[in-house]
């Protein structure tokens, strides 16, 4: 045995498993269903979703094995995770890596193995989806593709778990940031507040309460604009209005505010507009106390005013002239810079765009040609400028039909063009007419759509391949819209309902399965559309006959809303189940109910009598001299005699009565709902004895029947234990035997 080596990214791979918490994860129902489906699809006994840990291989989902983990050095999957694709071992007994592996030589007896690596969102291998069989086999190319498709389904489930983990981690980070913000807000030495877009306080920190002298509760009933000095309000109001109008994100200014005691304080105010998906738009305001600085500045201003007045009077005219000159130069420079930038940007875009660009004049003469045009068509600009477009495309090409005025919207069309080498290339063309310097120009942008058409063709091939797979499955598969119309149906579905694919697309579920089945099915469809997977059984009258189907409805997880419907034919299973239930409750010789069925029926009838139903009678019968006939004429005659006895008893009782064979020649009759038991029981016993006395053919012998009958009665409202009632009837029968053959005795 060769133990698997460690992957190069082993450390990061194990770390990813630890972070995601997939090891020893509780069972995932979707993966369990997938492994069961895989075993049926590939017709093999074992399928597993395994995760490779440090020293073990743990099974996140499994079908066909009881063990939940194995030693890593014995694992096949340890080798499979080293490969980029599916690893197959057709016969492990002949493979040097696994021939003496305990998994091969002992239970579970691995012979064939196939493993497909399972990757996380960033490509790190977490484990494998593996198949195991006890006989040699080999997966062909189509089977490998199926295994790869199943692997992608498993990866989708793992990726969903990984994304949920990422969301939980992100939520924790956001909670930490919120806590940090709250701590900073409450502990900051400067004033901080949140306000609505109307400037009303929503929240204030202790620093702001100390600065303004208001409590937070008192501030919540005011706006900060109302607390602003009237002279400063004129400066702040336009900034505030521009912020609310979305014309700016923040503003900053120094202003005076009115404290609670009526005094003024200077603050530096910084206001930022906050918009998020989780909160209504609001503003964050920070207030820094500038009172002492402003007092110092005022003193400095007073000292400098005399000097400034003298300087200002002499320099005012010069400054005005210089400013006018500078303004004119700035405006001219800005215009020239803007024009140069626009020209450079347009030239850069045309030179580096991946789309071919051609400019034409009103006569379709080529006046513009970018490098991408050379790459696409093969001609250089110096070869094409000045040439007519029809010389390149031909006189009948759709591009030459462009018409309209310069105000017409751009036209878009798809067509083929011929390159310099003669190759036809499909392109998407956007054409726009405009005027430049009073002349009409036409701009053509050509985009190569070869790859797009190849992708569309590949998508169509994928759809055909998926249909081929679903048509080959032995189950009915369909998809219906929320309105109950068919979006898809495989061949098995169409065959069951006697329709072809085209007919199904034009019909609703009600049209196909009928009104009664539709009413029941749409209730389940509503649950499936709500995200719940549901299953139920229904009997259909189909063109191929009456069939029992088990229906499973799975909500669509893709872009197209609807429900997938899978149907499994369980008709034969239902028939076998009914047959087994009948055999379990009936005597194989006489066809009468056996002791088990008799006991269940008698228990139910006694419970009804206890609840004041009409009286119930019980007769106990056996054949007189049966052992002698059986010994003298043989068991086949004895069996025939028992069968005739059963026929005679069944012919004399009412439709609701039960005749049962307990064992040997012991028979019982349950007689519910007796109106006059004192008259009805003796009359029935006399009819039975008279019918027995009539000779009949029994396996070639003309034989009469002779029997003894004992009866017991349970009255309305009386509690009768089943064993007590049987004992009373049995004792009455023995009293009848003691008085002679062919007699009856009753315990009323």
- Give the residue, 597 or 405, on which the prediction is more confident: 597
Residue 160 main-chain phi, psi, to 5 deg = -60, -40
Cα separation, 641 vs 701, whole angstroms: 10
pLDDT at position 731:
95
pLDDT at position 404:
46
Neighbours of 313 (CB within 10 A): 9
Report yes or no: 713 and 682 within 8 Å, Cβ to Cβ.
Answer: no
Neighbours of 79 (CB within 10 A): 19
Crossing angle for the helix pair 677-693 and 635-652, nearest 10 degrees?
Answer: 140
Distances (CA, A) of 281 to 202, 243, 276, 486, 674: 12, 11, 7, 46, 83
Assigned token pair, 522: 């749409």
Q: Which residues pair with 624 in a beta bridge?
A: none
Report yes or no: 446 and 355 within 8 Å, Cβ to Cβ.
Answer: yes
283-287, 350-354, 413-417, 459-463: range with highest mean pLDDT: 283-287
Query: Average per-residue pLDDT in the chain?
Result: 82
Question: Would 188-289 and 353-448 be classified into the same CATH topology?
Answer: yes
pLDDT at position 188:
67
Crossing angle for the helix pair 635-652 and 626-633, nearest 10 degrees?
Answer: 140
Strand order in the sheet with 616-623: 658-663, 666-671, 616-623, 707-714, 744-747
CATH 3.60.9.10 is the classification of domain 586-747: no
pLDDT at position 400:
63
Confidence of residue 313 (pLDDT cuts 50, 70, 90): low
Cα separation, 484 vs 507, whole angstroms: 9
Cα separation, 737 vs 206, whole angstroms: 107
Cα separation, 472 vs 491, whole angstroms: 8
pLDDT at position 446:
82
- Give the residue, 103 or 477, on which the prediction is more confident: 103
Closest residue by Cα to residue 355 from 369, 367, 344: 369
pLDDT in tens, 364-392: 888 888 898 888 888 888 888 888 876 66
Closest residue by Cα to residue 81 from 47, 49, 118, 55: 118
CATH 3.40.50.300 is the classification of domain 467-572: no
pLDDT in tens, 549-568: 788 888 887 667 888 887 77
Tell me the CATH number for domain 353-448. 3.30.450.20
Quote the percentage of the chain above a pLDDT of 90.
22
Strands, DSSP E only, in 326-423? 356-361, 366-369, 411-418
Report yes or no: 132 and 110 within 8 Å, Cβ to Cβ.
Answer: yes
- Give the residue, 56 or 348, on which the prediction is more confident: 56
CATH T-level assignment (fold) for domain 10-167 = Beta-Lactamase (3.30.450)
Check: pTM over 0.75? Answer yes or no. no
- Give the residue-averaged pLDDT of 292-321: 70
Torsion of CA 266, 270, 273, 277, to 10 degrees: -110
pLDDT at position 595:
92
pLDDT in tens, 620-651: 998 887 777 777 887 788 888 899 899 999 99
* Parallel, antiparallel or unpaired: strands 707-714 and 112-119: unpaired
Asked whether residue 405 carries a pLDDT value surpassing 60, the answer given is no
The residue extents of the domains of the chain are 10-167, 188-289, 353-448, 467-572, 586-747
Torsion of CA 273, 276, 279, 280, to 10 degrees: 50
Cα separation, 100 vs 110, whole angstroms: 11
Asked whether residue 740 carries a pLDDT value surpassing 50, the answer given is yes
CATH T-level assignment (fold) for domain 188-289 = Beta-Lactamase (3.30.450)
pLDDT in tens, 328-349: 777 776 766 775 666 667 666 6
Asked whether residue 473 carries a pLDDT value surpassing 70, the answer given is no
Neighbours of 361 (CB within 10 A): 15
Q: Tell me the DSSP string of 70-119.
A: EEGGG-SHHHHTTSSS-EEES-GGG-TTTTT-HHHHSTT---EEEEEEEE
* Parallel, antiparallel or unpaired: strands 46-52 and 366-369: unpaired
pLDDT in tens, 503-554: 777 777 787 777 777 777 788 888 878 888 888 787 777 777 778 878 888 8
């Amino acid at each position: 045995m060769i133990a698997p080596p460690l992957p190069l990214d082993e450390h990061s791979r194990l770390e990813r498993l630890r972070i995601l918490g997939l090891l020893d994860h509780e069972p995932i129902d979707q993966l369990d269903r997938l492994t069961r489906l895989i075993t049926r699809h590939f017709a093999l006994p074992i399928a597993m979703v395994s995760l490779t840990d440090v020293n073990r291989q743990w099974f996140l989902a499994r079908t066909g094995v009881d063990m939940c983990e194995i030693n890593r050095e014995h694992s096949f999957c340890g080798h499979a995770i080293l490969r980029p694709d599916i690893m197959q071992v057709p016969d492990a007994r002949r493979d040097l890596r696994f021939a003496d592996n305990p998994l091969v030589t002992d239970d579970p007896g691995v012979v064939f193995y196939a493993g497909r690596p399972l990757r996380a969102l960033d490509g790190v291998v977490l484990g494998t989806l593996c198949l195991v069989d006890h006989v040699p086999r080999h997966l062909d190319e189509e089977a490998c593709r199926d295994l790869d498709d199943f692997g992608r389904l498993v990866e989708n489930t793992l990726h969903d778990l990984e994304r949920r983990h990422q969301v939980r981690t992100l939520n924790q980070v956001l909670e930490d940031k919120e806590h940090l913000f709250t701590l900073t807000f409450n502990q900051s030495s400067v004033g901080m507040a949140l306000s609505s877009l109307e400037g009303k306080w929503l929240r204030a920190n202790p620093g702001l309460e100390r600065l303004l002298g208001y409590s937070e509760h008192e501030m919540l009933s005011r706006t900060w604009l109302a607390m602003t000095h009237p002279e400063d309000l004129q400066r702040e109001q336009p900034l505030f209005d521009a912020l609310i109008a979305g014309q700016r994100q923040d503003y900053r200014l120094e202003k005076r505010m009115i404290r609670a005691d009526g005094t003024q304080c200077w603050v530096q105010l910084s206001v930022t507009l906050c918009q998020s998906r989780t909160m209504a738009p609001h503003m964050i305001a920070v207030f820094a106390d500038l009172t002492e600085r402003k007092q110092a500045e005022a003193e400095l201003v007073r000292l400098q005013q005399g000097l400034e007045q003298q300087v200002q009077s002499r320099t005012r005219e010069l400054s005005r002239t210089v400013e006018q000159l500078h303004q004119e130069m700035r405006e001219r420079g800005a215009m020239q810079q803007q024009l140069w930038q626009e020209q450079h940007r347009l030239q850069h875009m045309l030179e580096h765009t991946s789309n071919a660009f051609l400019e034409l004049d009103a006569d379709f003469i080529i006046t513009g040609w970018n490098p991408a045009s050379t790459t696409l068509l093969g001609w250089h600009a110096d070869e094409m400028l000045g040439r007519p477009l029809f010389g390149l495309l031909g006189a009948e090409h759709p591009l030459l039909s462009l018409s309209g005025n310069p105000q017409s919207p751009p036209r878009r069309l798809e067509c083929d063009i011929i390159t310099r080498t003669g190759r036809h290339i499909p392109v998407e063309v956007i054409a726009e007419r405009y005027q430049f310097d009073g002349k009409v120009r036409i701009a053509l942008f050509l985009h190569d759509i070869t790859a797009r058409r190849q992708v569309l063709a590949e998508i169509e091939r994928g759809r055909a391949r998926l249909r081929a797979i679903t048509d080959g499955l032995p189950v009915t598969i369909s998809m219906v819209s929320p309105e109950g119309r068919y979006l898809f149906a495989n061949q098995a579905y169409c065959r069951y309902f006697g329709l072809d694919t085209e007919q199904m697309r034009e019909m609703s579920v009600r049209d196909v399965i009928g009104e009664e089945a539709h009413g029941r099915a749409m209730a389940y469809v509503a649950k499936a559309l709500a995200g719940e997977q549901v299953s139920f059984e229904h009997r259909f009258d189909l063109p191929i006959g009456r069939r029992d189907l088990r229906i499973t409805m799975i909500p669509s997880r893709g872009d197209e809303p609807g429900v997938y419907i899978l149907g499994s034919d369980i008709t034969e299973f239902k028939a076998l189940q009914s047959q087994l239930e009948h055999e379990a409750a009936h005597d194989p010789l006489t066809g009468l109910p056996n002791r088990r069925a008799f006991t269940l029926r008698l228990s139910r009838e006694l419970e009804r009598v206890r609840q004041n139903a009409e009286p119930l009678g019980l007769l106990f019968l056996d054949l007189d001299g049966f052992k002698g006939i059986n010994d003298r004429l043989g068991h086949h005659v004895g069996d025939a005699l028992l069968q005739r006895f059963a026929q005679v008893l069944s012919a004399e009782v009412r439709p609701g009565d039960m005749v049962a064979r307990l064992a040997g020649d012991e028979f019982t009759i349950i007689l519910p709902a007796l109106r006059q038991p004192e008259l009805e029981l003796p009359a029935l016993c006399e009819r039975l004895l008279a019918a027995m006395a009539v000779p009949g053919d029994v396996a070639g012998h003309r034989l009469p029947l002779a029997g003894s009958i004992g009866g017991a009665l349970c009255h309305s409202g009386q509690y009768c234990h089943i064993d007590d009632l049987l004992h009373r009837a049995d004792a009455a029968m023995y009293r009848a035997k003691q008085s002679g053959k062919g007699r009856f005795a009753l315990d009323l």
